[in-house]
Amino acid sequence: MSVLIKVAQRLGRQRWFAAVGKRVVPVDLAVQRRTGGRISLARLAGLNSMVLTTTGRRSGLPRSVPLLYVHDGADFVVIGSNWGQAAHPGWSANLLAHPEAEADLVSRRVPVRARLVTGAERERLWRDVITPVWPAYDDYAARAGGRRLRVFVLSPR
pTM for this model (two decimals): 0.88
CATH at 67? 2.30.110.10
> Which of 51, 60, 80 is closest to 153 using CA atoms?
80
Compute CA distances 87 → 2, 94, 141, 146, 156, whole Å.
33, 14, 11, 10, 28
Domain span at residue 50? 3-156
Residue pLDDT, tens place only, 96-129: 999 999 999 987 899 999 999 999 999 999 999 9
Quote the CA–CA distance of 138 and 157 in Å, as a whole number: 30
Domain count, the chain: 1
Percent over 70 (pLDDT), the chain? 99
